[in-house]
């Protein structure tokens, strides 16, 4: 009865075409809940239907509109929503609906330049919004969808190799096989101990995500430890080589995003941390580029569209590091940080800052990760 009087006069439902078959991904809603939504790629059409189920015998409206929007929201400032993408279609002219109906829509070749992102201080989301304009309260329905940006780098790209140390105390050489990893990749590497005079207790590789929002004085940065992966137990001696193999698909990672719409960036670092018996930590961070590899079935399409749609994407990955990213810094030093002195500069960019927002470490989650990868890998160690 109450619904009849004050409730919406009709239910709106947005159904995206092929959403049952599409790969799904989680969207973090404002409510904090996660919802599985279909994934789209740049240049793909977004089409679907709007079901309008009347709850009354008729409904008068001043037009029905469907929009496709791309939005960047900064949590610190809710008002400053930035629409970087906005497309609209008129579905119906003003009139009276006398029965439930289904309206189809399609946005062809939508340029979706950015990856959906749900971060600590910022989020970038795409959605379809249907608005039934009415005299008093408009009927509005939104449906989120995800956008994955794809990239491709040749595997032959050089890795990261570096020699670091503390004079007369610790000299190591570490090597990661690549500087750019796709999200299902494995980081293969090794640590070579040239000099060990400290009593190492264990060593781990961490994946740090650094999110930088805004520019200038108002910018906010956040660093989160996404992964902690012990690679060595006990103290090695000079001459030992320790292997690293870290499968990325087990972690919730996104591609590296640089300067997204001049509003934010998300970058990833591999942090090699040694902890000695007095609990002192020695670490060395190294940026790596993460990207989403083009699934096989999608590659051909992508190649066709490469020139138009990927321009934003490719502009970023190439410019950062010298092409043979070989570092050989004799002078490079580990930052040394004792747990007691975990403050100041190092606290901001190391794992000190992430304790508040990252409880992953002790979470028992044994699911094999995102179920969004249709390309299965072989069961063996997939050194590539």
Partner 1 sequence: LFWQTRSQDMSGPVTEDQEKLLDEALSVVKLQAFQMKRCLDKAKLMDALKHASNMLGELRTSLLSPKSYYELYMLITDEMRHLELYLLDEFQKGRRVQDLYELVQYAGNIIPRLYLLITVGVVYIKCSEISRKDILKDLVEMCRGVQHPLRGLFLRNYLLQCTKNVLPDCVEEEQEDSGSVSDSIDFVLLNFSEMNKLWVRMQHQGHTRERDRREQERRELKLLVGTNLVRLSQLDTIDVQRYRSVVLPAVLEQVVNCKDALSQDYVMECIIQVFPDEYHLATLQDFLQACAELNPAVPVKNILISLINRLSAFATRDGSNGIPSDIPLFDFFSEQIAKIIENKPDLSPEDLVSLQAALTGLALGVYKDREDYVDKVLETTNSGLDKLGRLDSPTKKSVSAYLLQNMLNNGTLVPSSEQVEQLLDLVRCLVADPGADAAAAAAAATATNSLGGDPGDGSANGAGPDSEADNEDLAEEQSLLGRVVHLFSTGPDLLDEQFGVLKTARRILATGGGRRVKYTLPPVVYQAYQLAIRFHNRQDSDDKWRKKCRKIFEFCHSTVCGLAKCELPNLALRLFVDGALVVDKIPFDQHDTVAYEFLSQAFSLYEEEISDSKRMTCFAAENHEPLRSQTVHAASKLLRKPDQSRAVAACAHLFWSGRPRELQGAEMRDLKKVGECLKRAGRLASQCMDAGLQAQLYTELVNYYLYFVLQSAGSNLDVSQLSSTAGQLLAKIREILSGLEPSADSEHIHKHFEATVEFARSQSASGDATIAGLLAQLEL
* Residue 362 interacts with partner 1 (CB under 8 A): yes or no: yes
**Between 89 and 245, whose beta carbon lies closer to partner 1?**
245
State yes or no: residue 340 binds partner 1 (CB under 8 A). no
Q: Cβ closer to partner 1: 35 or 278?
A: 278
109 phi/psi in degrees, rounded to 5: 45, 55
Helix (H) or strand (E) holding 318: helix 311-319
Residues touching partner 1, count (CB under 8 A): 40
Q: Given the rule CB under 8 A, which of 160-168, 289-297, 310-318, 375-383 is the region that contacts partner 1?
A: 375-383
* 379 touches partner 1 by CB under 8 A: yes
What is the closest distance, in whole angstroms, from the C-beta atom of residue 340 to partner 1 in the complex? Answer: 16
End-to-end CA distance of the chain: give it in Å, rounded: 64
User: Smallest distance from the beta carbon of 54 to partner 1, in angstroms?
Assistant: 46
- Identify residues 161-220 at the interface with partner 1 (CB under 8 A): 186, 200-202
375 lies in the binding site for partner 1 (CB under 8 A): no
In the shown chain, the binding pattern of residues 234 to 263 toward partner 1, with x for contact by CB under 8 A and - for none, equals xxxx--xxxx-x-x-xxx------------
Q: Does 231 bind partner 1 (CB under 8 A)?
A: yes
List, in sequence order, every residue forming a beta bridge with 282; answer none if it has no partner.
274, 336
What is the smallest separation between the CB atom of 341 and partner 1, expressed in angstroms?
20
User: Other CB atoms closer than 10 Å to residue 239's CB: what's the count?
Assistant: 10
Q: How far apart are CA 360 and CA 366, in angstroms?
A: 12
Contact call for residues 344 and 352 (beta carbons, < 8 A): no
> Which position among 99, 100, 377, 384 is part of the footprint of partner 1 (CB under 8 A)?
377
Reduce the DSSP state of residue 370 to 3 states and report it: coil
In the list 57, 217, 365, 375, the residue contacting partner 1 (rule: CB under 8 A) is 365
- Say whether residue 381 binds partner 1 (CB under 8 A): yes
2 binds partner 1 (CB under 8 A): no
Residue 99 has which token pair? 């029965």
Helix (H, G, I), strand (E, B) or coil at 79: strand
| DSSP structure string for 181-205 | EETT-EEEEEEEEEEE-S-EEEEEE
Positive or negative, the Cα torsion across 339, 345, 193, 270? positive
Strands 139-148 and 34-41: parallel
How near is the Cβ of 314 to partner 1 at its closest, in Å? 30
Nearer to partner 1, 173 or 240 (CB): 240
Supply angle C-alpha 150, 156, 157, rounded to 5: 70
Q: Which of the 8 DSSP states describes residue 256?
A: -
Q: Which residues bind partner 1 (CB under 8 A)?
A: 186, 200-202, 228-237, 240-243, 245, 247, 249-251, 277, 360-369, 376-377, 379-382
């Amino acid at each position: 009865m109450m619904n009849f009087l004050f409730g919406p006069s009709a239910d709106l439902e947005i159904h995206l075409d092929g959403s049952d078959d599409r790969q799904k991904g989680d969207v973090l809603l404002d409510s904090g809940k996660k919802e599985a939504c279909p994934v789209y790629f740049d240049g793909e059409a977004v089409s679907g239907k709007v079901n309008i189920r009347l709850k009354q015998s008729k409904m008068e409206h001043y037009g029905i509109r469907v929009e496709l929007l791309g939005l960047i929201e900064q949590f610190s400032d809710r008002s400053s929503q930035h629409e970087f993408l906005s497309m609209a279609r008129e579905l119906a002219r003003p009139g009276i609906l006398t029965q439930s109906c289904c309206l189809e829509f399609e946005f062809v070749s939508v340029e979706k330049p950015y990856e959906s992102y749900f971060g600590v201080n910022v989020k970038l989301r795409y959605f379809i919004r249907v608005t039934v304009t009415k005299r008093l309260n408009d009927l509005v329905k939104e449906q989120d969808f995800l956008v994955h940006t794809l990239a491709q780098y040749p595997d032959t790209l050089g890795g990261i190799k570096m020699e670091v140390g503390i004079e007369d105390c610790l000299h190591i050489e570490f090597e990661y096989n690549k500087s750019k990893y796709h999200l299902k990749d494995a980081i293969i590497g090794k640590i070579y101990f040239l000099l060990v005079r400290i009593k190492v207790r264990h060593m781990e590789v961490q994946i740090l995500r650094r999110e930088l929002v805004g520019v200038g004085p108002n910018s906010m940065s956040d660093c989160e430890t996404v992964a902690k992966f012990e690679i060595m137990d006990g103290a090695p001696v000079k001459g030992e080589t320790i292997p690293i193999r870290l499968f990325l698909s087990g972690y919730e990672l996104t591609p590296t995003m640089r300067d997204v719409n001049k509003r934010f960036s998300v970058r990833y670092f591999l942090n090699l941390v040694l902890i000695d018996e007095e609990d002192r930590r020695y670490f060395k961070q190294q940026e790596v580029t993460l990207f989403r590899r083009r699934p096989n079935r999608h590659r051909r399409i992508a190649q066709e569209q490469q020139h138009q749609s990927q321009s934003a994407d490719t502009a970023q990955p190439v410019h950062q590091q010298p092409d043979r990213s070989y570092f050989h810094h004799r002078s490079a030093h580990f930052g040394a940080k004792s747990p007691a002195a975990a403050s100041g500069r190092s606290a901001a960019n190391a794992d000190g800052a992430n304790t508040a927002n990252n409880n992953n470490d002790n979470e028992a989650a044994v699911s094999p990760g995102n179920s969004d990868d249709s390309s299965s890998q072989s069961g063996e160690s997939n050194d590539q």
